[in-house]
Amino acid sequence: MIHIHYYDPELAAWQQRQVQQIAQELRLSAPIWLDLTQATNEEESQVMHAMAIAPTMAEDFTRQRHPPKFEAQAHFSLLVLRGYADPDFSEITQSAQVNLLFSGDVLISKVQCHEPLLAAQLKPVLSAEGKVSVVDWVKHFTLVVSASYLGKLLSFEEELSELEDAMLHKGNDELMATMMRNRSVLRKVNRNLAYQKDIFSDAMYEEQHVLANHFSNADLRDFYEKFERLHSMTDMYYDQLSDLVHGYMSTTSHQINERMKVLTMVSTIFIPLTFVAGVYGMNFHNMPELTFAKGYFITLLAMLFMGLGSLAWFKFKHWW
């Protein structure tokens, strides 16, 4: 179903309609917000045709999953944003995707979000006085998307500090698996933020950029700084997790080396003893030592001195 929101001057209030045919509704006073979140594929195609949206842009707008991007044509601009809808960074299920097609007086939106609270926030603000513009709506979407990351990242900072303390005191494989999952999620989040940061970076520094015609330099800088900060935070947290992972692996390798050192010393002690036992375990008749009355005790004593001598040598070399 297509939802149309418009301001009625006679009633001095915002009105909402559910329609299936869009052509006759275009006479409504601007600004108009067309919400296609619950629209079918046929209804989406109808709106794209009625608004004369380029086929490539219409395809990007209607796509279920699309990385953040900005594209402009003669009358409409396409802005695809991705918010973070999961409660934490233990796993990522599906990003909150916001597809926006907007011109000076028309906004077409499609929001895919499985988190109810964020989905409620991803709706334009309908001012009671009707003093609102499409630019205000797009700005609202952008700010909500950036805020969906900020709160989770600030909470994760405390979790990361606790995780670091736990790893320093008593690291284990379970904590290691948690860090690996968090790091994987942060890598995906970082990629989305990099796309969105670049969108507004290009708008700030490219001459005659289309977004510069809609937003002031202050707004564009605000958007860029928000996404740049979020991108830097994910970079920093990813690096910290990587350091913890590498530190745990180094500690584990050191512990394995210590165990291997003990096993090597034990083997080094018992190899010559095994050699002696093997020599005198051969049952040849012409072995003079076999008939020696005190040969057994002398051999044991020699083996004892060989073992103690090896231990003394290891101690002298500071190997243990």
Q: Going from the N-terminus, what domains does the chain have, and what CATH number goes with each?
A: 2-252 (3.30.460.20), 256-316 (1.20.58.340)
The closest of 52, 53, 57 to 79, measured between CA atoms, is: 57
The closest of 84, 118, 65 to 188, measured between CA atoms, is: 84
The pLDDT of 163-184, averaged and rounded, is 85
The one-letter amino acid at 242: S
The pLDDT of 169-193, averaged and rounded, is 88
**pLDDT value at 290 more than 80:** no
d(CA 182, CA 157): 12
d(CA 137, CA 100): 10
Q: What are phi and psi of 106, to 5 degrees?
A: -135, 135
Whether the model pTM is above 0.85:
no
Characterize the bridge pairing of strands 32-35 and 106-112.
parallel
The two tokens of residue 226 are: 């928000």
Task: Name the pLDDT band for 11 (thresholds 50, 70, 90).
Answer: confident
Measured CA to CA in angstroms, residue 4 lies from 7, 20, 23, 145 at distances of 10, 10, 12, 23
Q: Tens of pLDDT along 67-89?
A: 999 999 888 999 999 999 998 88
Residue reference for tokens 């001459």: 207
End-to-end CA, the chain: 77
User: How many other C-beta atoms lie within 10 A of the C-beta of residue 42?
Assistant: 8
d(CA 220, CA 201): 8
